[in-house]
Amino acid sequence: MPYQRFPKVEILSLSPHEIKFILSETDTSMANALRRIMIGEVPTLAIDLVEFHENTTVLNDEYIAHRLGLIPLRYQPPDSIKGKDCQDVFNPHYECVCYDRCPRCSVEFELDVAYKVSGDEDVLAPLTVTSKDLISNNESVQPAHFLSVEEQENSQDEGISIVKLAPGQRLKIKAIARLGINKEHAKWCPVAVATYRFWPEIMINHEQLSLLTLEQKQELVDCCPDKVLELEPLTAEIKAVDNAWDICTYTEDLAFTQNAMKKRKEDDDFVRITQSTDKFIFNVETTGALDADEVVMAALRVLKKRLNYLAQELESLKSM
């Protein structure tokens, strides 16, 4: 009977736009599946169609439409349906029963900004059109202008810049946002970074280290560029630093140095650093369309749905 695993998650840090956690008691296949789903299969809203009514700016229609598509759109459910995300409320446009578009599969935005002048002014600074100028017909769906309050305070604009207008120029458009995933287009990607690293397993052979002099031990500690080892001043013993799991990069400098210290090639290593096969450190940063914890939970729901579908298909094959 195969070994049944019970994966565990330990949250190391959590903020609205970033999460770091440890996934353990599983293997690389599960870790990589979760990472790929977070990148490519978590549904979000993004502007997919732009109708231009007037554009006298320096940028052509296609360039502006591309910029609009990359503005992250955030869904905030009302109190009456708290706990639901955008994929629970909106249908993918190719699955909706409407003829063209409807509130169940799309959200409309309007933007109309003109730089009007009376004619007697001196040279004026350009007017920046930002995501703040997008007016949504759905109060629950708004552009994510900033990731954090700190970013908002440091920004010189009121939102994400779209184009700059010179005096007398105008931009008037209507944009349609739809539900989609990154596999269809990158504008639906909910994450800016989604990576994992193997947990380092540091094994220190104190018996072998007792054969080294204090200078050799110090050389062994200093040879690691990521400084995962330290020498105790009182006991003269080598140990791993407290945050070794976070800074370890698996460099080969340690192996080269201790091989030169060995009397025989077949002797055991003084210190061995290997990659764990069942423990992983995840780091996820979002674009602002979803909170970091929402991205992880949505990815787990997608993974569960895929596994249930696979189980149903296997059952149907058995019954044939």
Place 117 in a pLDDT band, splitting at 50, 70 and 90. confident
Q: Tell me what percent of the residues of the chain surpass a pLDDT of 90.
A: 52
143-178: pLDDT as tens digits? 998 877 777 777 777 889 999 999 889 999 999 999
Would the pLDDT of 1 be above 50? no
Would the pLDDT of 78 be above 80? no
Residue 108: beta bridge partners? 176
Would the pLDDT of 192 be above 50? yes
Would the pLDDT of 2 be above 60? no
Place 309 in a pLDDT band, splitting at 50, 70 and 90. very high
Residue 179: beta bridge partners? 45
Whole-number Cα distances in Å, 95 to 100, 108, 180, 181: 11, 18, 11, 14
Mean pLDDT (the chain) is 89
Place 118 in a pLDDT band, splitting at 50, 70 and 90. confident
Residue in 139, 131, 41 with CA at minimum distance from that of residue 92:
41
- Look up the pTM and report it: 0.85
Decide: 159 and 130 in contact? Cβ < 8 Å: yes
List CB contacts of 193: < 8 A, sequence separation 6 or more.
Answer: 283, 284, 285
List CB contacts of 70: < 8 A, sequence separation 6 or more.
Answer: 46, 187
From CA 272, how far away is CA 292, in angstroms rounded?
Answer: 34
Domains identified in the chain and CATH numbers: 8-39+194-283 (3.30.1360.10), 44-189 (2.170.120.12)
Would the pLDDT of 97 be above 90? no
